[in-house]
Chain A
Amino acid sequence: MRLAFKLNGKNTVLDITGGERLIDLLRQRLGLLGTKEGCGKGECGACTVLMDGAPVCSCILLSSQVAGREITTIEGLARGEELHPVQAAFVEAGAVQCGFCTPGILLSAVALLKEKPEPTRDEIKRALSGNLCRCTGYKKIFEAVETAAKNMRKTRKAGVGR
């Protein structure tokens, strides 16, 4: 069947089969390897992508379910060589250890900041509660999100941010 959706801002049309998972469409067929598979059961959040701005697990979605929707993967955050403020904040804060959970966490954080540009620590925790991290203990991740929020507010005030 035919699938038409928006992928990282680009209108995309593809042929898909009924049983194909979104994560496999992204990784195997489109070569977008940034979305990682941690459990295949929607329990760890490593495969998080944004569907119409909301975090979803791509391992438990079928490709067909994104028809007409807007999907953002980790590849859609940076602008060329320029990192998204959340990505940059994670680098600076030391919030990345093995990095396998990182793409999913970044997308959940981006979704949060869109909805709540000045989140409390508890709101950050709640928003990231579906993304498991085994390495960091989460502390520097929270700090990175708070820093990103601050930086994004600054650039928005200056009229240049996202």
Chain B
Amino acid sequence: MTVVGKRVNRSEAVDRVTGAGLFADDLNYTGMLHAAVVRSPVARGEIQQIDATSALKMKGVEGVFTSKDIPGRNSIPIILDDQPFLAEKYVNYVGEPIAVVVASDRRTARAAALKVRVKIKKLTPVLSLFEARNHPTVHLFGKDNVFKHLKIRRGDTERAFASCDVIVENEYRTPYQEHAYIEPLAMIAIPYPDGIIEIKGSMQCPFYVRNAVTRVLGLPESNVWVIQAATGGAFGGKEDVPSLLACQVALPAWKLKKPIKLVYDRTEDMMSTSKRHPGWVHYKSGATKDGVLRAVEVEYVIDGGAYSTLSPAVLFRGTVHSAGPYRCENVKVDSYVVATNKVPTGAFRGFGSPQILFAAECQMDILAEKLGLDPVEFRRRNLLRVGDTTVTGQKLLNSVGLEETLDKVLESSGWSPRSKGAGRKNGAEDEGTLNKDGVGFGFSTIFYGVGLGAAGKYLARTGANVILHADGSVLFSVGTTELGQGMTTVLSQIVADELGVPFESVRMTAPDTSRVPDSGPTVASRSTTMSGNALRNACKKIRDVLVEEAAEMLGCPAHKIRMDEGVVVAEGLVAGNLAAVQKGPVVGGGGPVVRGDVGAGSTPPGASAGARKVSLPLRDVIKSCVSKQKPLFADGWQVSPPTSFDGETGQGDAYMVYAWATNLVKVKVDRETGEVSVLKVWSAHDVGKAINPSSAEGQIEGGVMQGIGFALMEDMSVDADGRILNLNLSTYLIPTAEDATEIEPIIVEHPYPEGPHGAKGFAEQPLMGIAPAVANAVYDAVGVRIRELPLTPERVWRALKEKKSQDHGQNVRQVAGRRSRTPGSKRD
């Protein structure tokens, strides 16, 4: 019996339902002090003086640290080398860290931080995505404020457009999205007298954190041990930012030789930590009347904030996904990520693709309508299948389940072209054709390149270690982290099956940089494939030792040995009574003696005298290995298959494999208030193989709700001084239980041959296609096409009002018998 593919309960679920104290702020150390961060109040300025006198006078304050105190380099390594750890001469965004204050308790530290006087000469900030590029006077990065520019040049878009029967050209805008993980960022540094410094905290990437602390403190990697604590949600928001926190505690810990804890206040977290890049897209796409997408031309600009951090990689993913999951021979894309004086943006589920897919999937619906095709049929004529080539020229050799996800959604929902909101041609609605109940349906089909892809290929390796103990319990270590997505359980399932031991006997250590080599980040939905394969790699070595020993004990060739559920069986000999042997537990030794149990010279009952033993409890094989000092532990290493991406043409095998999805959203629009209610979402994903279907569903359900938040209610307003105005959870709205929509998660499996049991990765994907499906559904419901997110009631209401007056004007003109240009006809 295998556990891979089963809905096994999460390994840590009992800990979580009892509130076990395993998160960073639950951990405390003797002599521990508390830190708080002094931050820039302005979006851009020159630091003239830092005066800590008042702060230092406060009772309980132990120190104030600035860039002057940095023993190593004042730099946080991510991709490019432009982000300081503590601002030295200039500040470039509201909230930029300038100094760290340490005190006996958190309250005192936070109060003292407010007492540090920083004299800043204000400079004019650049706040607009549009003004930033080639700004005449403000140079935040290079000469043109462009962190990165990427291109796709495929075919000949100019000639292709000339041959198109329909062309649609529009602009789209998407806002900031804040992760709003429920556990705020938190970190602890514990210095030891022997020169080791331990960093424990809420994070996705222990190795990124180690890189930062070694650089800032000027220490060897062997001296910095980073251990991930239980982490309360991340979604990309704990990818690069923990490196900052780690240095904010490591520096004072190093200087004061005391443990230091730092927990960000929610407002501080929302103000100063990374978010989804706001985006602007100019999208032109064209098709011929046979319903084939012929040309796509895109300009995609995202707002990277003050420092580049992850922006080059975010731009890469967005660029590769810009044309949607379709065949298209002629594609021209220019994408840019620009520098502005706002919070550095970074990773958020989807990583540059939700913005562009919003545009791409709205365009598909608009094109479909112009062609007179329903949105499903138009997509079906263009979606990628096995053997097809993507717009980056990558031939898809395997694992393309997109069409099945579409078919499953149609099957499950019963949608047909007649399901859409009533009567709407490319014009006005009168009272007769008005879709009175405001219900509509919207589709999106999307895809997701699994893993780091060509942009991250130098990080695309991971290590694992597995120890099978003498009592049969198993402990494994990997470099990727549990964030709530279910990684621990999935990997434990894989290990249990590899070694033929019960799931309950397998445990994972806390991810710890002193246990495995640099395994890269926990991002890009890469853990199942990368850590899964590294573990299988390690387990095979242990299995080989066990099998060799068992073969000797049973007197048969090694290839006849099979391991399953705590029993080692020699196949093809006298049929053994497997069930009888299984009665004893593997872990803890000393189970009941059973029929057919091992004992030198004993014969299974019913077997003829002289017939050989056919099975052994695994514990006996382990015992024998231990007695002979055979190693029952091993390391594993997994390197990603090769990827490529040409800098001039954007052609190459951008990702090792893709996940695929179809979303169908049913909405109801209140015409009086503009409120959009999502009634139901059908979301089907090709995941290769669901190692744990319950966890996979959980990712779909959670991602869909985050997508609904992005589509309907999440946005951050920035004022003229570069300050974010909505900085808490009552002004930045994320979906509550009352906003929860009915979700039908559907798992499709087109195995990826290189993945563990055929698994890919996919858990970012559920968020990515919801916004365009919602926008398409709103159009279906009430005939308004909104191209800016979120679809707040105000936006929808204004659009409805405008449409009403246009329709009224058109009807009046028609009634009057005059032919005139319909206002707004160029739109959509």
Q: Which residues of A contact B (CB under 8 A)?
A: 27, 33-41, 43-44, 46, 73-75, 77-78, 83, 87, 90-92, 94, 96-103, 106, 124-126, 128-142
State whether B7 touches A134 (Cβ < 8 A): no
**In the bound complex, do residue A41 and residue B728 qualify as a contact, i.e. CB atoms below 8 Å apart?**
yes
Known: A98-B182, A98-B483. A137 touches B729 (CB 8 A): no
CB distance from A88 to the nearest CB of B (A): 8
A42: nearest chain-B partner, CB-CB: B730
Interface segment out of the listed B225-233, B554-562, B640-648? B225-233
CB < 8 Å neighbour of B701 from A91, A98, A137: A137
A33, B702: Cβ atoms closer than 8 Å: no
Set of chain A residues within 8 Å of B193, measured between Cβ atoms: none
CB distance from B3 to the nearest CB of A (A): 15
Which residues from chain A contact B180 at a C-beta distance below 8 Å?
Answer: 132, 134
- The answer to whether A137 touches B705, judged by C-beta atoms less than 8 angstroms apart, is yes
Contact with A along B7-49 (1 / 0, CB 8 A): 1011011111111110101100000000000000000000000
A-B contact count (CB 8 A): 175
Known contacts A38-B182, A98-B483; A33/B26 CB under 8 A:
yes
Question: Are A46 and B182 CB-contacts (below 8 A) given A37-B25, A75-B19, A92-B9?
Answer: yes
Residues of A contacting B: mostly: loop
In angstroms, Cα B19 to Cα A124, docked, is 22
8 contacts between A and B (CB under 8 A): A27-B26, A38-B232, A75-B18, A75-B19, A98-B181, A133-B737, A134-B706, A137-B703
Identify the interface centre among A73, A75, A136: most chain B CB within 10 Å of its CB: A136
Q: Which residues on B sit within 8 Å (CB–CB) of A36?
A: 19, 23, 25, 182-183, 232
Which residues of the other chain, A, contact B194 by a CB distance below 8 angstroms? none
CB distance from A70 to the nearest CB of B (A): 19
Interchain CB contact under 8 A, A98 and B232:
yes
CB of B740 within 8 A of CB of A83, answer no
Docked CA distance A78–B16 (Å):
12
Which residue on chain B has the smallest CB distance to residue A94?
A: B694
Contact A34-B20, Cβ < 8 Å, known A137-B740, A142-B740: yes
A78-B18 in contact (CB<8A): yes
B697 within 8 A of A: yes
Cβ of A106: which chain B residues have Cβ within 8 Å of it? 17
Q: Is the CB of A74 within 8 A of B18?
A: yes
Across the interface, name the chain A residue whose C-beta is closest to B705: A137
- Please name all residues of chain B whose beta carbon is closer than 8 Å to the beta carbon of A99 when the two chains form the complex: 12-13, 15-17, 230, 232, 484
Q: Is the CB of B484 within 8 A of A135?
A: yes
Residues of chain B contacted by A40 (CB below 8 angstroms) = 265-266
Q: Are B701's CB and A136's CB within 8 A?
A: yes
Measured CA separation A142–B17 after assembly (Å)? 15
Beyond known contacts A91-B9, A91-B17: 8 more, CB 8 A cutoff? A39-B266, A98-B234, A98-B483, A132-B180, A136-B702, A137-B700, A138-B740, A140-B697
Contact residues of B between 195 and 238, Cβ < 8 Å to A: 230-235
A136–B181 Cα distance when bound, in Å, is 12
Q: How far is the CB of B109 from chain A (nearest CB, A)?
A: 15
Cα-based distance from A27 to B19 in the complex (angstroms)? 12
Chain A residues within an 8 Å CB radius of B20:
33-34
- B residues sitting closer than 8 Å to A (CB atoms) are 7, 9-10, 12-21, 23, 25-26, 179-184, 230-235, 265-266, 483-486, 694-695, 697-698, 700-706, 728-730, 734-738, 740, 743
Question: Which one of A37, A39, A83, A135 has the highest number of Cβ atoms from chain B below 10 Å of its Cβ?
Answer: A135
* Cα–Cα, bound, A98→B228 (Å): 13
Report whether A125 and B738 are in contact in the complex, using a CB–CB cutoff of 8 Å. yes
In the complex, A133 Cα to B730 Cα: how many Å? 14
Q: Are B182 and A101 in contact (CB under 8 A)?
A: yes
Contact in complex: B743, A139 (CB < 8 Å) = yes
The B interface is mostly helix, strand or loop, or mixed, namely loop
- Which one of A34, A124, A129, A134 lies within 8 Å of B182 (CB-CB)? A134
CB < 8 Å neighbour of B233 from A39, A100, A129? A100
Question: How many angstroms between the C-alpha atoms of A33 and B16 in the bound complex?
Answer: 11
In the complex, what distance in Å separates the CA atom of A67 from the CA atom of B180? Answer: 34
* Complex: chain B residue closest to A87, CB-CB: B17
Contact flag A100-B232 (CB < 8 Å), given A34-B20, A136-B701: yes
- 3 smallest A-B Cβ distances: which pairs? A34-B19, A99-B16, A98-B484
In the complex, which residues of chain A have a beta carbon less than 8 angstroms from the beta carbon of B15? 99
Q: How far is the CA of A62 from the CA of B91 in the complex (A)?
A: 38
A residues in contact with B233, CB < 8 Å: 97-98, 100, 134-135
| B19/A74 in contact, CB under 8 A | yes
Given contacts A44-B182, A100-B23, A141-B737, contact A134 B18 (CB under 8 A): no
Please determine whether A132 and B705 come into contact, CB atoms closer than 8 angstroms: no
Q: Which residues of B contact A125 (CB under 8 A)?
A: 737-738, 740
Tell me whether B183 and A98 are in contact (CB under 8 A).
yes
Residues in A whose Cβ lies below 8 Å from that of B729: 39, 41, 43-44, 132
Q: Which of B14, B25, B698 is within 8 Å of A97, CB to CB? A: B698
CB B325 to nearest CB in A, in angstroms, measures: 23
A41: B residues at CB distance < 8 A? 266, 728-730
Selected from B12, B182, B701, the residue in CB contact (under 8 A) with A139 is B701
- The reply to whether B17 and A90 form a contact with Cβ atoms under 8 Å apart is yes
Q: Evaluate contact between A140 and B698: CB separation under 8 angstroms.
A: yes
User: In the bound complex, how far is the Cα of B25 from the Cα of A102, in angstroms?
Assistant: 16
Nearest CB of chain B from residue A52's CB, rounded to whole Å:
21
CB distance from A33 to the nearest CB of B (A): 3
A contact residues around B184 at 8 Å (CB): 37-39
Q: A137 touches which one: B18, B484, B704 (CB < 8 A)?
A: B704
CA distance A52 to B786 in the complex (A): 48
For B233, give the chain A residue with the smallest CB separation: A98
Q: Are the CB atoms of B703 and A83 closer together than 8 Å?
A: no
B736 touches A129 (CB 8 A): yes
Contacts of A124 in B (CB 8 A): 737
Determine if B182 and A83 form an interchain contact, defined as CB atoms under 8 angstroms apart. Answer: no
Neighbouring B residues of A87 by C-beta, 8 Å: 17-18
In the bound complex, what is the Cα–Cα distance between A94 and B729 (angstroms)? 26
Contact residues in A for B740 (Cβ distance below 8 Å): 125, 137-139, 142
Q: Shortest distance in angstroms between A100's beta carbon and chain B's nearest beta carbon? A: 3
Task: Flag if B737 contacts A97 (CB, 8 Å).
Answer: no
Report the bound CA distance from A102 to B9 in whole Å: 16
Q: Smallest CB–CB gap between B203 and chain A, Å?
A: 13
Q: How far is the CA of A126 from the CA of B230 in the complex (A)?
A: 29
CA A43 to CA B9, docked complex, whole Å: 30
Q: Chain B nearest CB: distance from A139 CB in Å?
A: 5
Task: Tell me, in angstroms, the Cα distance from A73 to B296 when the chains sit together.
Answer: 57
What's the Cα separation between A60 and B737 when bound, in Å? 22
Question: A96, B17: Cβ atoms under 8 Å?
Answer: yes
Task: Tell me the nearest residue of chain A to B28, going by C-beta.
Answer: A28
Q: From A38, A90, A138, give the contact of B183 (CB < 8 A).
A: A38
Q: State in angstroms the CA–CA spacing of A61 and B622 once bound together.
A: 56
- Bound CA span A44–B730, Å: 9
Shortest Cβ distance from residue A97 to the other chain B in the assembled complex, whole angstroms: 4
A120 smallest CB distance to B (angstroms):
13
Q: A94-B10, A98-B183, A100-B232 are in contact. Are A134 and B19 (CB under 8 A)?
A: no
Chain A residues near B736 (CB-CB < 8 A): 129-130, 132
Contact of B16 among A46, A75, A96 (CB under 8 A): A96
From A37, A83, A94, B18 is in contact (CB under 8 Å) with A83
Tell me the complex Cα distance, A36–B705, Å: 23
Residue of B nearest to A139 (CB): B701
> When A40-B266, A98-B232, A99-B15 are in contact, do A137 and B21 touch as well, CB less than 8 Å?
no
In the bound complex, CA of A102 to CA of B18 (Å): 9
- In the complex, are the beta carbons of B13 and A96 less than 8 A apart? yes
**Docked CA distance A34–B17 (Å):** 9
A41, B731: Cα distance in complex, Å: 12
